[in-house]
Structure 1
Amino acid sequence: MKRKAVRSRSTIRRKPRKKGSLFSGKLLRFSIIGFLIFLFLGIGYHYRNGLLYYLGFKSYKLKYEQAEAKRISDVRNYQVLENHQGKAIGIDVSEFQGKIDWTLVENIENDYPLEFVFIRATAGNDREDRQFTTNWIGAKKSKMIRGAYHYYRPNENSLEQAKLFIKSVQLRKGDLPPVLDIEKLPKGQSIDSLKVGLKRWLKAIETHYKVKPIIYTSEKYYDDFLKEEFSNYLFWIANYNFYREKIGEDWLFWQFTEKASVSGIKGNVDVNIYNGDVEQLRFITIE
């Protein structure tokens, strides 16, 4: 009987592992994973604004939308100002701008010099603007051509409103004519009744100051209610729409934005263009 040959353990040779190939494989995997992580983070950072917006971070959405609106507004402001080279540029302010440092109020967007300012004096039949006196004096010291306006409340007595403005505002030589700011429609009364009240205010102011007032309103309000019956007055029109690129031929002033930056004033400011140069602007001031 033949015995099976028993292979000695010492004769069994195992093929040694290649340490280099194992290390190279791990290194390759780590390199790929690292690259993918780096790529993911890079893409995330590049598109961080959009990701934060669409992932629903409400506070960021608000901040992002405000920044985008400001950027678009700034572009339009420059375009409009460039389209009106040579025209006199000004602002209008009220207590809503807070305390203004008039020593710094010189230009808009750090490029365009400011020549005039309209300052809110009164509102309705009982409201004096808290910053009117300070702003009125500050504008004079800054050698800006200044004017005062009254915010008209349709449901309050027009003559009482005129009386309050006259009591609050003393116009001097070189000041702009007084302004009636009408923006709201009346409640519980007709448009005809509103027009009667506006005419009474305008007449009372003209009688006192011996100069024809200016009317401020939006373009739509002007077209719908005032254009025909008040055609013997000069108008200051508000229109912030992108389709409007130049001042209307029959407009005395155009308020083209409510979102501009002016040195010396915190927050946004309304900006206006006069339909002429600064010398022509001086021509319409009180003598």
Structure 2
Amino acid sequence: MSSRNNPISAVQKKRTVATTRKKGTVSSSKPSRAQKKAPMKHGYSMSGWLRNLLAVVIIGCFSVIFYYFFLRPYAYRWKPCNGMKEYGVCIPSGYDIHGIDISHYQGKIDWGRLLQNKQTATPLHFIFMKATEGGDHNDTTFEANFVNARNHGFIRGAYHFYIPGTDALKQADFFIRTVKLDSGDLPPVLDVEVTGRKEKKELQQGIKRWLDRIESHYGVKPILYTSYKFKTRYLDDSIFNAYPYWIAHYYVDSVKYQGKWHFWQHTDVGNVPGIKEDVDLNVFNGTLEELKKLTIK
């Protein structure tokens, strides 16, 4: 009887084949367990490496952004002063006439205590106050601050915050109705900080209309306040160089602006006795006699 027809022989053959497969002597079309794990292990290693790299990149980017926006602008405050430190900040060297500018943000001011700052090594001589904004917004503290500044012997000035989307002449007339300047007061100030999405030429035309209207009424050229970057970008027309310039440029040792300027707002974090909140500090580019010559006669 042949093995083909022998059931015992067939069973033994199956066992032999199975045993051979276990020992690896016979190849199989199905991958082994080790073969299955190998590519998975390799993929896991690569994904872990990529995750680590991505984490490093994210942390690096976050650190750069944090430094650029939150540390770099204030780094100057931590530098040792080359000159004098007063009011919690480094005072720019080479300037003797100091002042502040205030609004409702500073709250109620202790004018008696503020007056004592005239006796410090960097005495305060002048104060600018916010009077109006746009075509119908009064600063709630202006009237009292304006009277107190004169009564306490400070050279005073008033400024208007310009809103490009509101008619320039309406804004000028609103300021005129609100602010009554006397001899000895500084010229009115136009504070320009935003474009209001206006085209550059249209923005300049509106500002010029405000300046012309104010000069015609008060008989003196207004002071133009804006940052160094804003002026060089939007008010670079030579017609604006005819006005006294009050430059806002924070946390630097000196003004980099190449043109003529009269006032420099060098910090917005001054700590002045008599004022609870932080306050802007300014210097005048000249002597006290020159500052008085700039006032309304």
TM-score (norm 1): 0.70
CA contact (8 A) 1:150 1:181 kept: yes
2:283 and 2:80 map into 1 onto residues whose CA distance is 16
1:265 and 1:109 map into 2 onto residues whose CA distance is 16
Structure 2: runs of 5 or more not aligned: 1-70
Matched residue, 2:151: 141
SS in 1 for 2:194: coil
Instruction: Tell which deviates more after alignment, 135-144 or 70-79.
Output: 70-79
How much does 1:84 deviate? 2.3
SS in 2 for 1:224: helix
Matched residue, 1:196: 205
SS in 1 for 2:291: helix
Question: Percent identity among equivalent residues?
Answer: 42
Which has more radius of gyration? 2
CA contact (8 A) 2:77 2:251 kept: no
Distance 1:145 1:80, change over 3 A: same
Matched residue, 1:83: 93
Matched residue, 2:16: none
CA contact (8 A) 2:97 2:287 kept: yes
Matched residue, 1:72: 78
CA contact (8 A) 1:83 1:245 kept: no
Instruction: Tell which deviates more after alignment, 94-103 or 244-253.
Output: 244-253
2:258 and 2:90 map into 1 onto residues whose CA distance is 13
Letter paired with 1:115: H
Structure 1: runs of 5 or more not aligned: 1-64
Aligned equivalent of 2:161, options 151, 157, 167: 151
Cα deviation code 1:249-278 (max 9, x no counterpart): 611100000001111100211000100111
- Number of residue pairs the alignment of both structures matches: 219
How much does 1:228 deviate? 2.7
1:171 and 1:199 map into 2 onto residues whose CA distance is 21
Matched residue, 1:179: 189
Letter paired with 1:84: G
1:281 partnered with 2:270: no
How much does 1:73 deviate? 8.0
Task: Please tell me the root mean square deviation across aligned C-alpha atoms, in Å.
Answer: 2.5
2:146 and 2:102 map into 1 onto residues whose CA distance is 10
Instruction: Tell which deviates more after alignment, 92-101 or 226-235.
Output: 226-235
Matched residue, 1:211: 220
Deviation beyond 4 Å, 4+ runs, structure 1: 68-71, 73-77, 245-249
Matched residue, 2:180: 170
Aligned equivalent of 1:124, options 134, 157, 176: 134
How much does 1:195 deviate? 0.7
1:245 and 1:173 map into 2 onto residues whose CA distance is 30
Following superposition of structure 1 onto structure 2, how do residues 230-241 of structure 1 map, counting pairs within 5 Å? 230-241=240-251
Matched residue, 2:171: 161
How much does 1:75 deviate? 4.8
Matched residue, 1:224: 233
How much does 1:112 deviate? 1.4
